[in-house]
């Protein structure tokens, strides 16, 4: 809290002879991409004005894997410095013990939230985090270029590979030497786990570890999917893709240098933003299908949890409720195209008008695949790390897909032991 506010709050409490007017200083930690931070600050300013509390944002690196490492350090040290954590959808089972059970504090509003989102944050009956926003990735594409070259929208990964390659080459011949066909998240981190699971699941290769904790990755469809992805690197995707996270992919696509991009929903507001060079020529659809004939999208999203070590738990709960109320979620959906967690907002006229993809995206979110964080319990981070390592080693040419899948199977089997 800054000094002036502290004095003012103290004075008010003294004058009224009550401690109920305690004004707290809270810290919220989140990993922002795109407009997240800007939109959060606006909501926090409203909260400060309404309540007299002060809220500081503690920013994290963009990659969720880096955030997790830092969060785990703070939490295991029982740090009192952070009151509210913005958690990735996958973390509740691993970090549950460190957070306040929000069941009672949200009993009056929880029915308004998308049930699957609530379920994803419930561990052994404890509500670890209140759902903030959801996500299911989209295939962003340059409709002007498809039209220019008379191409249909690719339905499968193989068609995407061909179309991306043809348009890229034609554009390069026409003088745009920086053009690429497809950008996505190829760095060795959680984002690659999501991409790899999508390639494999859509190809009929299953979910690597299924909902019952069985390891299912050892199959030909998984090998084929990784082989195809390896063929992209240096061909339709820049060699640097091996170190791309979300914002790297968006940077290339938004500056007009890629035909297709896989990204989360936050990118929609930005590629269509006033200052985006491609704002009138970009559209979104679901990711391509593989041999399964179906598309697969991974469920993403972030949710708000109150640390057990916070010295201001009541105020922190008040903040979590505020940031997830209708007004805050509507603003977030409109300003940063984050799909809401309140069911009613999928029928909200203002959101439908300003971010028309959001109501259309609800079925994609509902059908999204969960990463195996629930069945693998405390081991999810290691499981995911084995997945992204396997995918990365195939994409970088260090390993052939068959050996990488066999190694992944062995590593997961060892990790599993009797644990899950
Ligand atoms: C997005 C998703 C999150 C996922 C991450 C991977 O932030 O919301 O669930 O883990 O991307 O990079």
Residue 398 has pLDDT above 90, yes or no: yes
pLDDT at 252: 98
Q: Collect all residues with Cβ–Cβ distance below 8 Å to 154 and sequence separation of at least 6.
A: 160, 162, 163, 164, 288
Ligand 1 close to Cβ of residue 192 (< 6 A): no
At a CB cut-off of 8 Å and minimum separation 6, what does 68 contact? 88, 91, 190, 381
Token pair of 250, please?
Answer: 């968006």
pLDDT at 22: 79
Are 301 and 374 in contact, with CB atoms under 8 Å apart? no
Q: pLDDT band for 5, please (50, 70, 90 cuts).
A: very low
pLDDT at 292: 85
Dmax of the chain from CA atoms?
77
Where are the strands (E) in 173-226, listed by range? Answer: 180-183
Q: What residue ranges in 32-153 does DSSP mark as E strands?
A: 54-59, 84-88, 122-123, 126-127, 130-135, 138-142
Structural domains of the chain sorted by starting position, each given as residue range(s) with its CATH number in brackets: 3-128+300-366 (3.40.190.10), 138-298+371-416 (3.40.190.10)
Evaluate: CB of 93 within 6 angstroms of ligand 1. no
| C-alpha 64 to ligand 1 mean position (Å) | 6
pLDDT in tens, 131-153: 999 999 999 999 999 999 999 99
The β-bridge partners of 301 are 134
**pLDDT confidence of residue 366:** 96
pLDDT for the residue 14: 42
pLDDT single digits (tens) 18-69: 345 579 999 999 998 999 999 999 999 999 999 999 999 999 999 999 999 9
Over residues 320-345, the pLDDT tens digits come to 999 999 999 999 999 999 999 999 99
* Whether pLDDT at 113 is above 90: yes
H helices present in 255-294, as ranges: 266-271
Q: To which H or E segment does residue 33 belong? A: none
Q: pLDDT-based confidence at 2, cuts 50/70/90?
A: very low
Atom 11, ligand 1: residue with shortest CA distance = 191
Is residue 291 very low, low, confident or very high in pLDDT (cuts 50, 70, 90)?
confident
- The residue-averaged pLDDT of 282-294 equals 94
Nearest atom of ligand 1 to the alpha carbon of 246: 12
Evaluate if residue 6 carries a pLDDT over 70: no
Ligand 1, atom 3: closest residue by C-alpha: 300
Spatial separation of the C-alpha atoms in residues 168 and 137, rounded to whole Å:
23
Q: Which residues of 372-409 are buried (b: 16+ CB within 10 A; e: fewer)?
A: bbbbbbebbbebbbbbbbbbbbbbeeebebbebbbebb
Ligand 1 atom closest to the Cα of residue 89 is 9
Indicate if the pLDDT at residue 371 is higher than 70: yes
**Is the shortest distance between the CB of 64 and ligand 1 below 6 Å?**
yes
Report d(CA 13, CA 15) in Å as an integer.
6
**Residue 1 pLDDT exceeds 50:** no
Predicted confidence at residue 8, as pLDDT, reads 43
Is the pLDDT at 9 greater than 80? The verdict is: no
> What pLDDT, on the 0 to 100 scale, is given for residue 155?
97
Report pLDDT for 20.
52
Q: What is the mean pLDDT of the chain?
A: 94
Average pLDDT, stretch 189-200?
A: 98
Tens-digit pLDDT profile for residues 222-279: 999 999 999 999 999 999 999 999 999 999 999 999 999 999 999 999 999 999 999 9
């Amino acid at each position: 809290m800054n000094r002036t506010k502290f004095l003012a709050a103290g004075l008010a409490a003294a004058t009224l002879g009550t401690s109920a007017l305690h004004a707290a200083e809270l810290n919220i930690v989140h990993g922002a991409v795109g407009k997240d931070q800007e939109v959060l600050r606006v909501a926090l300013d409203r909260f400060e004005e309404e309540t007299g509390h002060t809220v500081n944002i503690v920013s994290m690196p963009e990659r969720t894997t880096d955030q997790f490492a830092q969060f785990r350090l703070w939490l295991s040290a029982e740090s009192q410095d952070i009151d509210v954590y913005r958690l990735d959808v996958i973390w509740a089972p691993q970090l549950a013990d460190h957070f306040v059970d929000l069941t009672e504090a949200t009993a009056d509003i929880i029915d308004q939230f998308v049930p699957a989102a609530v379920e994803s944050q419930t561990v052994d009956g404890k509500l670890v985090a209140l759902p903030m926003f959801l996500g299911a990735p989209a295939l962003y594409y340059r409709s002007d270029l498809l039209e220019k070259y008379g191409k249909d929208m690719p339905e499968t990964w193989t068609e995407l590979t061909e179309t991306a390659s043809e348009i890229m080459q034609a554009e390069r011949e026409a003088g745009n030497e920086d053009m690429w066909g497809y950008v996505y998240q190829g760095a060795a981190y959680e984002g690659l786990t999501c991409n790899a699971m999508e390639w494999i699941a859509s190809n009929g290769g299953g979910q690597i570890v299924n909902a019952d904790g069985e390891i299912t990755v050892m199959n030909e469809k998984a090998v084929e999917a990784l082989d195809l992805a390896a063929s992209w690197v240096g061909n339709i995707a820049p060699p640097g893709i091996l170190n791309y996270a979300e914002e790297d992919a968006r940077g290339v696509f938004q500056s007009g240098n890629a035909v297709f991009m896989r990204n989360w929903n936050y990118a929609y507001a930005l590629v269509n933003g006033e200052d985006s060079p491609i704002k009138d020529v970009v559209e979104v659809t679901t990711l391509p299908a593989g041999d399964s004939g179906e598309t697969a999208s991974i469920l993403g999203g972030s949710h708000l949890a109150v640390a057990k070590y916070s010295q201001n738990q009541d105020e922190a709960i008040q903040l979590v409720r505020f940031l997830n109320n209708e007004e805050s979620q509507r603003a977030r959906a409109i300003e940063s195209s984050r799909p809401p967690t309140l069911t009613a907002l999928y029928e909200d006229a203002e959101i439908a008008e300003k971010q028309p993809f959001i109501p259309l995206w609800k079925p994609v979110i509902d059908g999204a695949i969960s990463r195996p964080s629930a069945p693998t319990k405390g081991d999810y981070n290691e499981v995911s790390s084995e997945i992204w390592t396997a995918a990365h080693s195939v994409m970088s040419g260090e390993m052939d897909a068959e050996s990488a899948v066999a190694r992944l199977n062995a590593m997961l089997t060892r990790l599993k032991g009797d644990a899950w």
